[in-house]
């Protein structure tokens, strides 16, 4: 049994990971910057999970929190922001974690990056993820890096969002609809993290966490709508219109449903590179979208709930940022 510190553990992936870690017999400390009762309601009932409020951006506070743990899992990420915000979340934060690891003697780190992370990537998000990885490569720590594609699952804001919009709209234009993705089930991602924790042979590896099939974004949207009982016409939105829409959404308060940086990332397919191992090399058989989607999207769930288009936008914007979606 390991004593683990989970950073970024109150979001979509973190909630599923806490359940996986408890089932595997590990103890977990989850750090949150918000009041634990507000930030971690979904995991506080788990006996093996302790939620503590802490400023993970502060090196001394993080070191105090980290002391006594066997390993750290870093899920901290934002999907939307400017260059400085991405730098703080994906580069400066990583350096703070590295420094805290060295000062406390905690050398094992599992870091969740993003598929497509590269210095020459078209999006600021992916470039910042690559800079964070570069720091880890020279950190001297025992690091395993996972690069997930877009992550789906029961409480995602990916396929669920597609389904909700199709409950409201007679046709559904999809920005970047021709971009190809290799979606990975959240349970496969979290099982892979547990595997990395329990298998020292994964130290030094960078693994692409992808599903078994490749789909265009339009195909995924069509599947989500059909599964929820809203089989609409789905088509690729013209690029110029998509960028105009993204600029407008970025001006609204809260987290945008779509940003110009998202569109920049969609200029390149988000699929396995063929140059790095995938989950199959770890012995996993990743679940497919058609195999999982009906378990949480079906006509009886009432997706959309009669809400207006603007209500969907508002609910998306008010939800905290988390790691999922485009990687």
| 85-109 mean pLDDT | 97
Whether residues 246 and 190 share a domain: the answer is no
* Residue 35 is assigned to a structural domain of this protein: yes
For residues 106 and 251, state if they share a domain. Answer: no
Nearest to 185 by CA among 165, 213, 205: 213
Does the pLDDT value for residue 189 go beyond 90?
yes
> Which of 313, 324, 327 lies closest to 12, judged by CA?
324
Query: CA angle 236-130-181, nearest 5°?
Result: 25
pLDDT higher than 70, residue 308: no
- Quick one: 89 and 170 in the same domain? no
Judged by average pLDDT, the poorest of 16-25, 34-43, 114-123, 270-279 is 34-43
Domain span including residue 33: 3-151+183-209
Do residues 55 and 198 share a domain?
Answer: yes
Same domain (yes/no): 107, 131? yes
For the cut 90, the answer to whether the pLDDT of residue 250 exceeds it is: no
Using only the alpha carbons of the chain, give its radius of gyration: 19
Residues 305 and 188 in one domain: no
| CA atoms in the 13 A half-sphere facing the CB of 72 | 30
Examine the domain organization and report whether 140 and 252 are in the same domain: no
Same domain, 198 and 258: no
Return the bridge partners of 207, or none: 146
SS3 32: strand
Task: Give me the mean pLDDT over the 35-55 stretch.
Answer: 81
- The predicted structure's pLDDT at residue 36: 61
Q: What is the mean pLDDT of residues 139-152?
A: 97
| Number of separate domains in the chain | 2
Buried b (16+ CB within 10 A) or exposed e, 173-188: bbbbbebebbbbbbbb
What are the helix (H) ranges across 111-183?
124-137, 159-168
Whole-prediction pTM value?
A: 0.89
What gap in Å lies between CA 189 and CA 192, rounded to an integer? 5
């Amino acid at each position: 049994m390991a004593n683990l510190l989970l950073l970024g553990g109150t979001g979509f992936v973190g909630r599923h990971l806490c359940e996986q870690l408890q089932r595997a017999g590990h103890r977990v400390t989850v750090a949150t910057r918000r009041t634990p009762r507000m930030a971690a309601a979904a995991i506080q009932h788990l006996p093996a999970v302790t939620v503590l409020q802490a400023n993970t951006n502060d090196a001394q506070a993080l070191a105090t929190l980290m002391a006594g743990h066997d390993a750290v899992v870093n899920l901290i990420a934002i999907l939307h922001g400017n260059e400085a915000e991405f730098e703080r979340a994906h580069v400066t934060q990583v350096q703070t974690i590295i420094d805290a690891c060295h000062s406390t003697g905690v050398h094992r780190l599992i870091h969740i990056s993003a598929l497509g992370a590269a210095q020459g990537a078209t999006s600021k998000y992916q470039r910042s993820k690559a800079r964070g990885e570069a720091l880890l490569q020279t950190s001297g720590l025992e690091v395993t890096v996972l690069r997930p594609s877009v992550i789906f699952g029961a409480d995602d804001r990916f396929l669920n969002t597609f389904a909700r919009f199709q409950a409201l709209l007679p046709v559904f234009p999809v920005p970047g609809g021709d971009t190809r993705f290799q979606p990975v089930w959240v349970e496969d991602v979290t099982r892979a993290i547990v595997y990395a924790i329990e298998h020292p042979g994964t130290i030094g590896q960078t693994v692409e966490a992808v599903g078994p099939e490749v789909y265009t974004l339009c195909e995924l949207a069509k599947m989500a709508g059909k599964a929820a009982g809203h089989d609409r016409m789905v088509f690729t939105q013209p690029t110029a219109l998509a960028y105009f829409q993204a600029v407008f959404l970025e001006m609204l308060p809260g987290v945008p449903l779509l940003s110009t940086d998202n569109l920049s990332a969609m200029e390149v397919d988000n699929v396995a590179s063929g140059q790095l191992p995938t989950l199959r090399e770890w012995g996993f058989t990743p679940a497919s979208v058609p195999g999982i989607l009906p378990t949480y999207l079906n006509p009886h769930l009432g997706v959309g709930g009669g809400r207006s288009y603007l209500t969907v936008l508002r609910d998306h914007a008010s939800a905290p940022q988390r790691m999922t979606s485009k990687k």
